[in-house]
Amino acid sequence: MSRTLPGTMGRDRDPLTASRGRDHGLGLGRTDSRDKLSKKMDFLLSVIGFAVDLGNVWRFPYICYQNGGGAFLIPYTIMAIFGGVPLFYMELALGQFHRTGAISIWKRICPIFKGIGYAICIIGLYVSFYYNTIIAWALYYFYSSFSETLPWTSCDNPWNTPNCTSYFGKSNISWTNFSKSPAEEFYTRKVLGIHEADGLDDVGGLHWQLLLCLFIIFTIVYFSLWKGVKTSGKVVWVTATLPYVVLFILLIRGATLPGAWRGILFYLRPNWEKLTDTTVWVDAAAQIFFSLGPGFGVLLALASYNPFNNNCYRDAIITSVVNCLTSFLSGFVIFTVLGYMAEMRDVEVEDVAKDKGPSLLFITYPEAIANMVGSTFFAIIFFLMMITLGLDSTFGGLEAVITAIMDEYPHVLSNRREIFVLGLVIVCFTGSLSTLTQGGAYVVKLLEEFGAGCSIIAVVFLEAIAVSWFYGIQRFCNDVKSMLGFSPGVYWRVCWVAVSPAFLAFIIVSSLLDQPPLMLFDYQYPEWTISVGFLIGASSFIWIPVYMVYKLAWTPGSFKQRLAVCIRPEKSVRDQQPDSLCMVSVP
């Protein structure tokens, strides 16, 4: 349905007015006091740092080899072109034009969908509860790497069991189903202490070393975010670029290892039959979605600090390509080392590449590093890379929550950012305590599966519907034109209206139909924990229908009048600009 707001008739036909709007850098919610990113690169590095995270290093390589090797790149590329990148571009454009966070932005788009903003904030909190714990694990490894002999090299440590078995440097080793590598026992028994827990029924006590590591992580996060994007925009110059330096160092080292070619062949060997499997396409869609990260409110928040006429179209293309290429590069880094391990163990590559989660980073790769020349150096830079990859994403995720809440309640929080950020960090730290117990890894897995699983995909699905169908694709394209001077083409319009929502619906339906048993190590999650997981997922999404009912109930008039008001933007761009810019020449 086509709708025209009062005072906006002819906006896009009046180049003088549009030019003035761009020159003055005016947009919704933008005031002179609002922070601005100092440089263009601050924004690009912030977005790249958020999009490129730990998942690029472990999830993409595993999914690629599991789903047809080089053949997987075909569905991955298709899903990126028609699903991931259009959604990425949409969020950057929305944030830059409306210049406000994920909650208050819905007043200017479609007020009845404002619950999406609250859902995004709750999902952001759930992610912070477990994601920073993974960074704390990396910090623990980083500290442990400062030793002449890495502690996960041998089986002669107090935490090792009689089942500990090391392949490297030995012959005639008998490996059974009960055998454990030194790296695995260091991770599960020393770092996690998971053997002391009885599943989620009894998670045991707190691990004080991890508590200290997490405290350090949140301290870094606080002092990077407390002053706003001007501070975090400088920090990402280190945290977003250092991982690429380390990746290239590790790639060169991995390529020189014996058997590296075996890993590369295994990684890229195409299995064309896999393309007929629906699961492969589901995995490709899910991977590109979670890799680019639309829906978390981060792109909205970061883009809202851009100049009004910034070329967000070019930014979307650049950052999407960098993200995808980083995932592809990480695959070479990981599989050269897996090929080396297969060579040393005299087994097939698939026998050492069974883990798709954090275990790949905390067991498999460290085990290979421990048996390299210069193992201490490579361990230090590897875990430093993991820490910086994780911190970037944490900065973006929490900045999304901070921007959303501060923009929604400016009269209360505008001059109290430091105190508000401190309170938010304390909440996140407190919420993470359960993940620091001896059974904390079970909690991390539960939150990872349900805290930001189907709920975030459903949120983005409704966001795409609200923008394309309720706000109107023509109005949205006019907004983009007022910023960039050109309107998105037919390809982008078709993707936003039909293809991208179908892409998201495809992931949602496939995920709901395919619910494999949830397991971690040898522990299968009981039914009651799965129920708890669904409640966690529902606790964020439920805010969308709750707010819809609230909005309709408190809006005066008949039901038809209420509905009309609730789907019509409360404010237009002209409401935020001087009267002189609202004047339109009449032919």
Tens digits of per-residue pLDDT, 155-210? 888 998 888 887 655 555 666 667 788 888 999 999 999 988 888 988 888 999 99
What is the C-alpha to C-alpha distance for residues 396 and 507, in angstroms, rounded to an integer? Answer: 24
Using the Cα atoms of residue 33, residue 39, residue 42 and residue 47 in order, give the sign of their dihedral.
Answer: positive
Enumerate the H helices of 13-84 as residue ranges: 15-23, 40-51, 54-66, 73-79
Residue at 60 is within a domain: yes
pLDDT band at 4 (very low <50, low <70, confident <90, very high): very low
Share of the chain above pLDDT 70, in %: 88
Residue at 24 is within a domain: no
Residue at 459 is within a domain: yes
Tens digits of per-residue pLDDT, 339-363? 888 887 777 777 776 655 677 788 8
Segment 528-555 mean pLDDT: 93
What is the C-alpha to C-alpha distance for residues 11 and 5, in angstroms, rounded to an integer? Answer: 10
Q: Give binding residues as ranges.
A: 49, 51-52, 56, 291, 323, 389, 392-393
Domain count within the chain? 1
Q: What is the CATH number of the domain that holds 269?
A: 1.20.1740
What is the C-alpha to C-alpha distance for residues 391 and 237, in angstroms, rounded to an integer? Answer: 12
Work out the angle at residue 261's Cα, subtended by the Cα atoms of residues 70 and 164, and round it to the nearest 5 degrees. 105
Question: DSSP characters for 191-204?
Answer: IS-GGG--GGG---
556: how many CB neighbours lie within 10 A of its CB?
7
Question: Of 575, 552, 586, 534, nearest to 5 (Cα)?
Answer: 575
185: how many CB neighbours lie within 10 A of its CB?
22
Question: Of 406, 307, 349, 301, nearest to 61 (Cα)?
Answer: 349
Residue at 13 is within a domain: no
The SS3 call for residue 393 is: helix
Sequence-separated (6 or more) residues with CB below 8 Å from residue 410: none
Residue at 1 is within a domain: no
Residue at 585 is within a domain: no
Question: Does the pLDDT at position 254 exceed 60?
Answer: yes
Type of residue numbered 508: I
Segment 82-93 mean pLDDT: 93
The average confidence (pLDDT) of the chain is 84
Tens digits of per-residue pLDDT, 407-458? 999 888 888 889 999 999 999 999 999 999 999 999 999 998 898 878 888 8
Confidence (pLDDT) at 7: 35
Residue at 466 is within a domain: yes
Sequence-separated (6 or more) residues with CB below 8 Å from residue 357: 58, 445
Residue at 238 is within a domain: yes
Q: Give binding residues for Na(+) as ranges.
A: 49, 51-52, 56, 291, 323, 389, 392-393
Question: DSSP characters for 267-309?
Answer: HH---GGGGG-HHHHHHHHHHHHHHH-TTSSHHHHHHTTS-TT
Burial class from Cβ neighbours inside 10 Å (0-12, 13-18, 19+) for residue 508 reads: middle
Question: Which domain covers residue 332, as residue numbers?
Answer: 29-171+179-570
